[in-house]
Amino acid sequence: MLSKTDCWDLMTAIKHLDHRVADQNDAILFGQIINQACGPTLSQCLAALAEWHTRHHDFGMIAPEDIVEIIKAHRPSTRLSEAEIGRMLEPLDLTAYELWAARRELIRGMNSGLARDMALARALDAAHGRQLPSKPAKPKRTHTPHFAGRLGKGDINQILGKEQE
């Protein structure tokens, strides 16, 4: 994900490339469009900008969609076809919902740089719901006889913590 500083750095590189006039708000908007589409790092965006500059294009200014398209084209999961994903997941005998979850996790794992076998194992775990258990809930506090809301139930000295004389 691009931070505001990363957005400004990217826009500075773009300004030097196509000589546009842009302020910090333009840079943040440009970066937010890219973040919503694919959540890249600054180095991925700068590499995509450099690649865009080497290509033939009809319009002389780069758009956020151009950067997103180049970044998505370089992701490892784009090298997997739907048929390959199907062949990888078919022998696992999953239900439709589990297959959907496994496919999403497989693509996410491949894009994060995991090896194919490790991504497949993680996808299978996600499909069967064998993820780490959530943190146990904190027990609800119970009210003691010293709770100030129960004034009629106890002696005022108990509530104030004084000993009776």
The string of pLDDT tens digits covering residues 91-134 is 888 888 888 888 988 888 887 777 888 888 888 888 887 555 56
Dist. CA 106–CA 15, nearest whole Å? 37
pTM comes to 0.56
pLDDT > 60? residue 20: yes
Residue 63 pLDDT level (bands cut at 50, 70, 90): very high
Q: What is the mean pLDDT of the chain?
A: 83
Dist. CA 146–CA 159, nearest whole Å? 5
Q: Are 71 and 38 in contact (CB under 8 A)?
A: yes
CA distances from 54 to 57, 159, 163 (A): 9, 78, 85
30 vs 96, higher pLDDT: 30
Give the residue extent of every domain in the chain: 4-74, 80-128
Dist. CA 34–CA 9, nearest whole Å? 14
Encode the chain in three state secondary structure.
Answer: CCCHHHHHHHHHHHHHHHCCCCCHHHHHHHHHHHHHHCCCCHHHHHHHHHHHHHCCCCCCCCCHHHHHHHHHHCCHHHHCCHHHHHHHHHHHCCCHHHHHHHHHHHHHHHHCCCCHHHHHHHHHHHHHCCCCCCCCCCCCCCCCCCCHHHHHHCCHHHHHCCCCC
Residue 9 pLDDT level (bands cut at 50, 70, 90): very high
Question: Tokens for 9?
Answer: 């750095």
